Amino acid sequence: MIGNMIANTFINPFQSPLFDDPDNYDLNYEDVSFLASDEVMLRGWLIKGDKDKVIIQSHFGVQCSRSGYRPRGLMKGYHKDIEFLRQAKYLNEAGYTVLMYDMRNHGESSKGTVPYITWGQEEAKDIIAAVNYISTHPDYKSADIGLLSICMGQGASVAAYGREDGLKNFPNIKTMISVQPMDYGCFVKALGLPGFMVNSTTKAIQKRTGRNFNDISWRPFAKDVTVPTLVIQNKNDGYLDEVFINDFYDELVVEKEMLWLDIPKKKGGDFPNRAAAYDWLGENPQPILNWFNKYISSKAK
């Protein structure tokens, strides 16, 4: 019973509907859809900028969508909405086209062939599909691509580098920003759950998904990443496992940098402060733009 209840918060689909719209930011965009390799329909926004440089944003998992995070229910992760269109706005103002999409089982995208959230394993197919969509689009097929990959979105991106049909087959990807890496094992450890609860939850998840989440981490594929990577992590994240972050960083064999944020907890707040780094993305354009501009420049210049 307890395991099933906890599993619901970890893997249940469609927990965060869209709550924002590019029209609210005066952005020129179109609604788009594209299929993953297993025929799952993915939906998103294509925010139009220069045709030769594109950022693909992959959101974090479970209680999120392409629009961001809205606190709902009993287990709130932050004190206010986190609006991902804020970073789309400044990226677009810097000339970038931005593709924001819902991963399977999130937002307006379809139910996956596994109808649960898998912490990056199945979702790797979605980032591959997003990159393929841009790479074959008549207006953007010659564009350089940067990946803005957040939490589970970065896990999916890293896992996608390890697939035979994956991101290593797209030389037009020039760089990645990896925001707060975490896998399932790291998360349950950070929660401090007693062993019997962890075992019960993992068994409940395996019964639903057919997968042992302890065995499907994206971490083994860090060595397969082929592009310069900036890792961003708040050192005051209540779920932080510093050994995990440092080991992941060490496993990257590409040009890389580590950006440690120092975002203090709100006084009197009972949130784990993990989502503060996601909120930071929308409020601090310069580090993000500096990194992408370093590896992606307009071919027209």
Query: How many alpha carbons lie under 13 Å from residue 41 in its C-beta half-sphere?
Result: 6
Cβ atoms < 10 Å from Cβ of 48? 17
Q: Which two tokens stand for residue 273?
A: 């402060």
Q: How far apart, in whole angstroms, are the C-alpha atoms of residue 241 and residue 234?
A: 11
CB 245 within 8 A of CB 191: no
Note the pLDDT of residue 198: 81
What is the per-residue pLDDT across 61-90, written as a single tens digit (0 to 9) for each?
Answer: 988 999 999 987 666 778 899 999 999 999
Query: pLDDT band at residue 130, thresholds of 50, 70 and 90?
Result: very high
Mean pLDDT of the chain: 93
What is the per-residue pLDDT across 273-300, written as a single tens digit (0 to 9) for each?
Answer: 899 999 999 999 999 999 999 999 766 5
Note the pLDDT of residue 270: 58
* The pLDDT of residue 217 is above 70: yes
Note the pLDDT of residue 211: 85
* The pLDDT of residue 272 is above 90: no
Query: pLDDT band at residue 301, thresholds of 50, 70 and 90?
Result: very low
Mean pLDDT of 244-255: 98
What's the whole-model pTM score? 0.95
Q: How far apart, in whole angstroms, are the C-alpha atoms of residue 261 and residue 226?
A: 25
What is the per-residue pLDDT across 148-168, written as a single tens digit (0 to 9) for each?
Answer: 999 999 999 999 999 999 999
Q: H or E element: which one contains 55?
A: strand 53-58
* The pLDDT of residue 243 is above 90: yes
* The pLDDT of residue 50 is above 90: yes
SS3 label, residue 2: helix
* The pLDDT of residue 3 is above 70: no
Q: What fold characterizes domain 2-295? A: Rossmann fold (3.40.50)
Cβ atoms < 10 Å from Cβ of 288? 24
What is the per-residue pLDDT across 13-32, written as a single tens digit (0 to 9) for each?
Answer: 888 889 999 999 999 999 99
CB 185 within 8 A of CB 299: no
Kindly report the CA angle at 285 between 264 and 32, in degrees rounded to 5? Answer: 115
Greatest extent of the chain over all pairs of C-alpha atoms, in Å: 60
Alpha helices in 51-139 (DSSP H): 85-93, 124-136
Alpha helices in the chain (DSSP H): 2-11, 85-93, 124-136, 152-161, 184-191, 195-209, 242-251, 275-283, 285-295
Mean pLDDT of 235-253: 96
Note the pLDDT of residue 205: 87
* The pLDDT of residue 222 is above 60: yes
Q: How far apart, in whole angstroms, are the C-alpha atoms of residue 104 and residue 111?
A: 6
Strand order in the sheet with 29-35: 29-35, 41-47, 97-101, 53-58, 144-150, 173-179, 229-234, 256-261
